[in-house]
Amino acid sequence: MKPIAIAIILAGTLGAGAASAGSACYTGPSGRIHTAHKTGCGPVIKQKIHIDCYRGPWRETIWDHPQGSFIDDLVKYGYDYGDANGLATEICKKEDLVGDPAGLRAELLRAIAADPPGPN
């Protein structure tokens, strides 16, 4: 089986409190590259995330799991390993996203917006 891989580029800020969705410096992923606002929140980072899921031979997601590059890219974006693994596994196990690269991308953007990386 071939792994399914697509890539998106997300931008966010680094710095204290930068990951909280309600803060003035949160740019959050919305599918476009954001420009830095002069808020003193830290530099804007751009991180390519490869949504890379191993797909089993059936539409059912019995053996489906995230590939290491997907998890590693989420860690580079700011998640700890456990959260990155959980988020990637949840996305790769959704049967309605099998064969739907646009759906995988949209689901990742929704998941990151709902629970951005950084301190809680």
Per-residue model confidence as pLDDT tens for the chain (120 residues): 444 455 555 544 333 333 334 444 545 554 434 333 334 455 666 789 999 999 888 778 888 999 999 999 999 999 999 999 999 999 999 999 988 999 999 999 999 999 999 876
- Report if residue 90 sits inside a domain: yes
Q: What is the reported pLDDT for 109?
A: 95
Domain extent for 65:
4-114
- Note whether residue 79 is domain-resident: yes
Q: Is residue 94 part of a domain?
A: yes
Q: Given this model, what pLDDT does residue 56 score?
A: 82
Would you state the pLDDT for residue 32?
38
Residues 6+ apart with CB under 8 A from 108: 8, 49, 51, 87, 91
119 is a domain residue? no
Domain total in the chain:
1
Is residue 104 situated within a structural domain? yes
Q: What is the side-by-side strand order in the sheet with 44-54?
A: 4-13, 44-54, 65-66
Q: Quick check: is 10 in a domain?
A: yes
Could you tell me whether strands 44-54 and 4-13 are parallel, antiparallel, or unpaired per DSSP bridges? antiparallel
This prediction has a pTM of 0.65
